[in-house]
C-alpha cells in the first residue's frame, strides 16, 4: 500500500479502486471491509487521488471471482475509469462502527513501528492480509529498523502481538528478528 493509505485521525481507508472492468465504466475494487461487500454501503464515500478527495456515489457492488467490481455514478464508459484507477476509497472515521476496547481497524495498524521483545525495530506495518486461519501483518524494514527485510508476522493477539499502542505508534511482538 502506498502512503495514501496513511490517514488522518478523521479519515479511514476502506479500499482501493484498482483497474477498469469491462466497457461500461465498472472498476475492480480491493475492499478492506468485512464482509468485503460492505464497501458499497458507505455513503458518502470519497475517492482519494494524490491527496485530493472527490465525493463519489457507488451505485452497485458485486462479487467477481475472489474480489469485487463496482459502478460509480457518472462513470459510464471505460474511457472515464482512468480518473479513478488507483484511488483509495475513504470515509470519515465517525461513519464507522465503534469498536470494543482492544479491537482495531486494519488501517489503525498500518504504519505502526514493530518492536520485538529483544527491543529490535523490525520495521513498520505496511499492510495486512487475510488468510484462512488468521490475519498476517506484512512488516517492511526501513531506514530505522535492524534491516530492510520484509517479514510476515501472524496477527495473533496475546500470542504473537503482545501490545498495540496507537498513541506511540508502536506494536510489541513476540517474534524473532531472524524470521
Q: Would you mind telling me the total number of residues written for the chain in this entry?
A: 179
- Whether 100 is in a domain gets the answer no
Per residue in 130-173, pLDDT (tens digit) is 787 888 999 999 999 999 999 999 999 999 999 999 889 999 99
Domain with 162 in it: what CATH number?
Answer: 2.30.30.240
Domain with 81 in it: what CATH number?
Answer: 2.40.30.60
* Residue 175: pLDDT band with limits 50, 70, 90: very high
Q: Which of 63, 94, 125 is the last residue of a domain?
A: 94
Whether residues 16 and 86 share a domain: the answer is yes
CB 27 within 8 A of CB 69: yes
Whether residues 77 and 153 share a domain: the answer is no
Whether residues 84 and 111 share a domain: the answer is no
Q: Which three cell numbers stand for residue 22?
A: 469491462
User: Is residue 2's pLDDT more than 50?
Assistant: no
Q: Which of 59, 94, 129 is the last residue of a domain?
A: 94
Q: Which three cell numbers stand for residue 167?
A: 498513541
Whether residues 77 and 150 share a domain: the answer is no
Closest by Cα among 106, 98, 121, 108 to 177: 121
Q: Which of 71, 94, 117 is the last residue of a domain?
A: 94
User: Is residue 46's pLDDT more than 70?
Assistant: yes
The mean pLDDT of the chain is 89
| Structural domains in the chain (count) | 2
Can you tell me whether residue 154 is helix, strand or coil?
strand
Q: Which domain holds residue 146?
A: 106-173
Amino acid at each position: 500500500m502506498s502512503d495514501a493509505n496513511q490517514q488522518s485521525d478523521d479519515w479511514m481507508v476502506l479500499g482501493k479502486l484498482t483497474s477498469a472492468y469491462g466497457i461500461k465504466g465498472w472498476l475492480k475494487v480491493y475492499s478492506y471491509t468485512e464482509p468485503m461487500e460492505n464497501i458499497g454501503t458507505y455513503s458518502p464515500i470519497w475517492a482519494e487521488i494524490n491527496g485530493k478527495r472527490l465525493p463519489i456515489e457507488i451505485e452497485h457492488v458485486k462479487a467477481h471471482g475472489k474480489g469485487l467490481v463496482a459502478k460509480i455514478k457518472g462513470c459510464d464508459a471505460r474511457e472515464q475509469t482512468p480518473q479513478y484507477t488507483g484511488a483509495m476509497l475513504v470515509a470519515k472515521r465517525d461513519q464507522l462502527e465503534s469498536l470494543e476496547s482492544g479491537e482495531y481497524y486494519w488501517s489503525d495498524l498500518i504504519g505502526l513501528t514493530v518492536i520485538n521483545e529483544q527491543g529490535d525495530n523490525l520495521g513498520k506495518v505496511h499492510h495486512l492480509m487475510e488468510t484462512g486461519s488468521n490475519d498476517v501483518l506484512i512488516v517492511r524494514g526501513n531506514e530505522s529498523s535492524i534491516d530492510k527485510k520484509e517479514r510476515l508476522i501472524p496477527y495473533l493477539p496475546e500470542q504473537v502481538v503482545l501490545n498495540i499502542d496507537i498513541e506511540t505508534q508502536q506494536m510489541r511482538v513476540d517474534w524473532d528478528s531472524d524470521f
